Amino acid sequence: MKGKRNITAYIALKLETELDISAEFWLSLQMDYDLQLERNKLKQIA
């Protein structure tokens, strides 16, 4: 985790199994993180 790798569908399913937290939750976190990175890039360009 530690911000070095993306949460893939496979990883999300593994986390779901181990932590009993839905894979959708983990994938949503990744999507939110990715969107924020892109927003930050756009702010730097503007």
Mean predicted lDDT score pLDDT of the chain? 94
pLDDT score at 1: 59
Residue 4, H or E segment:
none
How many angstroms separate the CA atoms of 21 and 13, rounded?
9
Task: Write the single-letter amino acid at 10.
Answer: Y
Statement: residue 26 has pLDDT above 90: yes
State mean pLDDT over 35-45. 95
Residue 36 confidence (pLDDT) above 70: yes
pLDDT of amino acid 18: 98
Give the pTM: 0.84
Structure confidence at residue 46 (pLDDT)? 75
3-6 long-range Cβ contacts below 8 angstroms, 24+ apart: 6/30, 6/34
